[in-house]
């Protein structure tokens, strides 16, 4: 069960930066939005910027977790590869459902 407690902004930014680098390597665009009260990473396919997800960091069982804007805990921050897989699979379905003519690089 996830706790609602956010980490310190520095901690969240560091973990979101790591996720952003991994997502970019897979062809996704990751836009940092760190000026608000809670750091957010906006993730979307470059050619379909209207379809995306906002990922935050929150406390969960065993440490810090990446959390989708849907409220779903994606993966522990210690498992960036799993988080990338879940984000790209989820967004890849949205891009495909929207009838996008662009590929998602295997997402």
How confident is the model over 58-81, as pLDDT tens digits?
988 889 999 999 899 999 999 999
pLDDT of 15 strictly over 70 = yes
Q: Does the pTM of the predicted model rise above 0.75? A: yes
Residue 19 clears pLDDT 90, i.e. is over it = yes
79 vs 5 pLDDT, higher one: 79
Query: Which residue ranges make up each domain of the chain?
Result: 9-96
Contacts of 2 (CB under 8 A, 6+ apart): 58, 59, 60, 61, 65, 67, 73
């Amino acid at each position: 069960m996830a706790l609602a407690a956010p980490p310190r902004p520095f901690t969240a930014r560091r973990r979101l930066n790591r996720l952003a680098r991994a997502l970019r390597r897979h062809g996704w665009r990751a836009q940092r939005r760190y000026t608000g009260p809670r750091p957010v990473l906006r993730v979307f396919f470059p050619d379909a910027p209207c379809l995306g997800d906002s990922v935050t960091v929150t406390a969960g069982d065993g440490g810090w977790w990446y959390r989708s804007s849907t409220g779903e805990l994606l993966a522990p921050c210690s498992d960036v590869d799993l988080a990338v897989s879940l984000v790209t699979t989820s967004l890849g379905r949205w891009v495909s459902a929207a009838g996008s003519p662009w590929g998602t690089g295997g997402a």
